[in-house]
Chains A and B, each alone.
Chain A
């Protein structure tokens, strides 16, 4: 019975819904091969929209939505997609999800839509999404592909949230999103807000520090694996 099932699903080796690779896949995207910190993908938007925590969170949410959705559909269609049009098909699917999210934002969160401007639409060209579709969803079953999309989306969102938090805190002395939740952080007593952090160079500095910290935390063995 078991062998029969794995025969009908040749790309599935283990048991369970995610072929026993769910945890590993989740860990890969979140930590081991984090799309921003390790693969250096999706940097453009990570630098552009992180001047405020709230913007970063919405952008992260957008990426999770698109990545999970596109991975699911690319994976569902992987056996009937003709090879020569697969990339066009992937982009079509990705673009559909991006536009859906953009429209929802325009309808229900107008202010945020204005602030994120072109960057929501530019998710279509985000290397993380295309990369996951090509590298993972084309070879793996739908549920596992969704887990992979979630992992990479979360990996991106967490990094964005951290950068956004520190840039807003150091750049303005407060974090508006926390204030909305009733949690006040106010550094104005002893800290002079450094405008540089909410300008473009601040994004590079914050990301640089974060990646350095990340590599330190991961330890030296990662270098060997890469080379």
Chain B
């Protein structure tokens, strides 16, 4: 008798579990396909926006003049008229030539990307024609902690990179993002207080790219 009740209650539970599983599977499938559909529909628009954002950032680091209000179409036109996409050895670069003389260069931008604290960090580093002095930097994609690491995208942090060098006095490549204590060497950048982890990650990402730049343009070393 006891075994019979056990059997029945066990059977009920089994039925309940089965119902739960079927419910979860159906709900998951419906929500999943809804999301897939929306992703498909919005895909081209998101792609265009992301592309425009990249172009806007390249123009910004290269200091190509453009109107802040320009839409994706105008940005693409300014980009096509002013920026050359080249490959220097293995390294893809964006070159902003002086308008009169195509051999003279105003600035060169290189893309960098890597892992930040929470997600990928992507951006562009622009160098002066000597390929050793930083002209500007942008971070166009980052998911760092808002208010702390997220400030890497702010203008005041980007300002700190300007005119810093990507090699130290001995010619060794790499920058240092340093905590407080005053900057001594010309390849040092002041870090963000409270965002040590993000700064460390940014330093690693940038130095990987700087390594590539120095390898691609070796003869500029003094």
Which A residues are closer than 8 A to B by beta carbons? Answer: 48, 77, 80-82, 84-85, 88-89, 92-93, 95-96, 99-100, 103-104, 106-108, 110, 117-118, 200
Which B residues are closer than 8 A to A by beta carbons? Answer: 16, 19-20, 23-24, 27-28, 31, 34-35, 38-39, 42, 45-46, 49, 52-53, 143, 146-147, 150
Contact between A100 and B34, CB atoms less than 8 A apart: yes
Provide the residues of chain B in CB contact with A107, threshold 8 Å: 42, 45-46, 49
Q: Nearest-CB distance from A187 to chain B (Å)?
A: 24
| Contact (A96, B23) CB under 8 Å given A107-B42, A110-B53, A117-B146 | no
Contact between A108 and B31, CB atoms less than 8 A apart: no
Partner of A96, one of B35, B52, B143: B35
User: Which residue in chain B gives the minimum CB-CB distance to A200?
Assistant: B147
Contact between A92 and B28, CB atoms less than 8 A apart: yes
| Contact (A100, B20) CB under 8 Å given A107-B45, A118-B146 | no
A–B complex contacts, Cβ < 8 Å, 21 sampled: A48-B146, A77-B27, A82-B19, A82-B20, A85-B20, A88-B24, A89-B24, A89-B27, A92-B31, A93-B31, A95-B31, A96-B34, A99-B38, A100-B35, A106-B42, A106-B46, A108-B42, A110-B53, A117-B146, A118-B143, A118-B146
Partner of B38, one of A81, A93, A95, A104: A104
List of 10 A-B pairs having minimum Cβ-Cβ separation, nearest first: A107-B45, A107-B42, A110-B49, A96-B31, A82-B20, A103-B42, A100-B38, A107-B46, A106-B46, A103-B38
Contact between B31 and A81, CB atoms less than 8 A apart: no
